[in-house]
Amino acid sequence: MTGPKRSWIVLLALLFAALPPVGAVAQEGGGSAETAAPSEVVPAPDERYATPWQTMRTYLLAMNRFVDSSDEQDLDEAVACCRFPESDRDVRRRELATNLFNILNRIGEVDQWHFPPSVSDAQFIYFPNDRIVSHARLSDRIPGFRIEIIRDQIGEWRFSEETMRLVGEHWSDWEPLKIKVGADEDVAATLGQKLRQMVPATLRGNMFSLEYWQWLVILLVILAGLVLDLSVRGVLKLCWRRVERRRGQKTDRGVLRRAVRPFGLLAAGLLWYFMLDVGGLSVVADTVLTTAVKVILSFASVWAAWRVVDLIAEILASKASKTDTKIDDLLVPLIERSVKIVVVAVGLIYSLEAFDVPVFPVLSGLGIGGLAVAFAAKDTIENFFGSVAVIMDRPFEVGDWIVTGDVEGTVEWMGFRSTRVRTFYNSVVTVPNATLVRANVDNYGRRSFRRFKTTLNLTYSTPPEKIEAFCEGVREIVRQHPYTRKDYYHVWLNEFGAHSLDVLVYIFFETPDWSVELRERQRFMLDTIRLADLLGVEFAFPTQTLHLFNEEHGKGRHPATTPAREAELRAISEGVRAARELTAKAPWQEIKPGGVVFGSSPARADAPVLDPGGMPAPDASAPGNDDEATR
């Protein structure tokens, strides 16, 4: 070998020897950068990750600083040198990053000589490396493990996802090996790693890919979640009892127990989720338990949100029932169902993410078949907008008596797609909302007054003055009754019928519903019968009478006398006086009757029976009340 060539070789050797070694303690010195110019215009790679050596150097320097200062920012910088699955949490990433550092300490010193100046492929395998003796020995003891650094599209190098997965799976195989470089003890970054260093060696035995102490930690975390579940339920029950005492209400224990159950489960799920990091679990165990806890959280969240919506809807419905309008009574259940649909949808998306199902591609795929879905759901969409139109136009409300097409009954419920009508046969008819928008709806519930028209048939033998008194008495009854319209009514002798003198009664009732109308109509008719009896007016029956004309009897008959001038006034006064006498002591004169209450009697069965004078009737079974005594 000639002198000049030998001098160049010695000079290069001195330059490389002057560089400090890099192992678990990073080597200071620059590596050669790749000189190959990219064929496409891409963003310039970060110098820290420009080559496999630069990535390794950045990682080791950051970990060394973390060992000296325990600064979380240094650990995050080391984590940035690695690639992880999207499902891995930050705690898991930090744990794997520190375990990789611990493995490198067992492999041996990391030197720049181990890395080529340039790499043409997109992958560089650092371990195992046949050129390095320590690698060859360790690769036989831990087969299948490798450390690879791969390049991304912009030319930056990172430790691959496969490498970090293998770190999590094989750390238990590496841990018993002797540390060759760096600190005497392993670096602990997470609470689980620190806890593992504290437990005795007897609890580090392996069972089903988990150590004994990890099984104990899982059991303790589960028990802590159950205790928290019961505690949250008890606190919520206690708070609700105090609210009930203030409001003067009481809730059934079973209902209250079911209402607070999801909140306890939600609290336990949150505790389990944040306590999973304590055990320092393996990749498989962490993935399984994290997925299970996410499913529990999603279910408990949807369940709790459902109960909250029910509670808010109950409060809003209570307030809506106190208002005069019924539109809020209709809006509350619609809003309640809409919010519940949103809650279930969000919970379903969260559950899909817990199983690492890509949600947005699925939603994008639905857009491709959106046209077919729109055609399939045409009727549903039409009915939905029909319900919106019904709410906006308000042709009827819940409780109204309507007639639309062949359907007649009371509106019982209104949903997104249809409206349920309870017919008078007690059956339920479901009418699509789109049909209600196009159809004619006759709303009897919007009537301000309910008309009552009838004809009273009086006998032909009734004197005209009695008829006049009777008609005026009926008018006075209309004026006195609590639910009759006072500004418009007609009571007149209207026709000469085939067998009677017909009196037209045309009045209106101002009642809130049909039940009250029937009750007040009965009260009016009974008072009319009493008035006729009081005035001596008889109702005619549809009978036919055969009269034989006697000429001799007809010759002596005198014509009717002309009524006196004040006869009509006397008849009117008599009718008014009789009507007022009938209604003077009626109970509704003092208190206006309310609505009709079904299922109860208006009077007690043991109440005393009153005689017409208002005094209790004598008891025939009482002593001294026999026939002779009463006479």
- Quote the percentage of the chain above a pLDDT of 90: 14
Whether residue 113 is predicted with pLDDT greater than 90 in this model: the reply is: no
Phi and psi torsions of 471, nearest 5°:
-60, -45
Question: What pLDDT does residue 148 have?
Answer: 92
* 280 closest CA partner among 361, 199, 344, 173: 199
Is there a single domain that holds both residue 219 and residue 358?
A: yes
Is there a single domain that holds both residue 313 and residue 396?
A: no
- The mean pLDDT of 245-250, rounded to a whole number, is 71
* Average of per-residue pLDDT values in the chain: 76
Question: What pLDDT does residue 195 have?
Answer: 67
Is there a single domain that holds both residue 339 and residue 284?
A: yes
Structure letter (DSSP) for residue 587: G
Question: What pLDDT does residue 29 have?
Answer: 40
Is 71 inside a domain boundary? yes
Is 53 inside a domain boundary? yes
> Which CATH number does the domain housing residue 403 bear?
2.30.30.60
- The mean pLDDT of 242-271, rounded to a whole number, is 78
Is 277 inside a domain boundary? yes
> Within 10 Å of residue 596's Cβ, how many Cβ atoms?
15
Condensed to tens digits (0 to 9), the pLDDT of residues 186-238 reads: 777 766 666 666 666 666 666 666 777 677 878 888 898 889 888 888 888 88
Is there a single domain that holds both residue 25 and residue 50?
A: yes
* Residue that finishes a domain, picked among 313, 345, 368: 368
Whether residue 609 is predicted with pLDDT greater than 80 in this model: the reply is: no
Is there a single domain that holds both residue 455 and residue 581?
A: yes
Is there a single domain that holds both residue 364 and residue 225?
A: yes
Question: What pLDDT does residue 453 have?
Answer: 94
Is there a single domain that holds both residue 397 and residue 504?
A: no
Q: Rounded CA gap, 611 and 122, in Å?
A: 112
Question: What pLDDT does residue 547 have?
Answer: 65
Number of domain units in the chain: 4
Condensed to tens digits (0 to 9), the pLDDT of residues 318-364 reads: 777 777 666 666 677 777 777 888 888 888 877 776 666 666 665 56
> Which CATH number does the domain housing residue 482 bear?
3.30.70.100
Is there a single domain that holds both residue 319 and residue 216?
A: yes
* Residue that finishes a domain, picked among 368, 396, 429: 368
Is there a single domain that holds both residue 67 and residue 99?
A: yes
Q: Which domain holds residue 538?
A: 447-544+565-589
Do 213 and 220 meet the contact criterion of CB atoms below 8 Å apart? no
Whether residue 259 is predicted with pLDDT greater than 60 in this model: the reply is: yes
Lowest mean pLDDT among 8-22, 182-196, 323-337, 468-482: 8-22
Phi and psi torsions of 127, nearest 5°:
-135, 135
- Quote the percentage of the chain above a pLDDT of 70: 69
Question: What pLDDT does residue 35 have?
Answer: 41
Question: What pLDDT does residue 22 have?
Answer: 42
Q: Rounded CA gap, 290 and 169, in Å?
A: 17
Is 10 inside a domain boundary? no
Is there a single domain that holds both residue 520 and residue 408?
A: no
Is 469 inside a domain boundary? yes
Whether residue 13 is predicted with pLDDT greater than 60 in this model: the reply is: no
Is there a single domain that holds both residue 421 and residue 475?
A: no
Is 203 inside a domain boundary? no
* Residue that finishes a domain, picked among 189, 222, 252: 189
Whether residue 612 is predicted with pLDDT greater than 50 in this model: the reply is: no
Is there a single domain that holds both residue 145 and residue 60?
A: yes
Higher model confidence: residue 584 or residue 77?
77
Q: Which long-range contacts (CB under 8 A, 24 or more apart) does 517-521 make?
A: 517/450, 517/483, 518/596, 519/593, 519/596, 520/481, 520/482, 520/483, 520/484, 520/593, 521/452
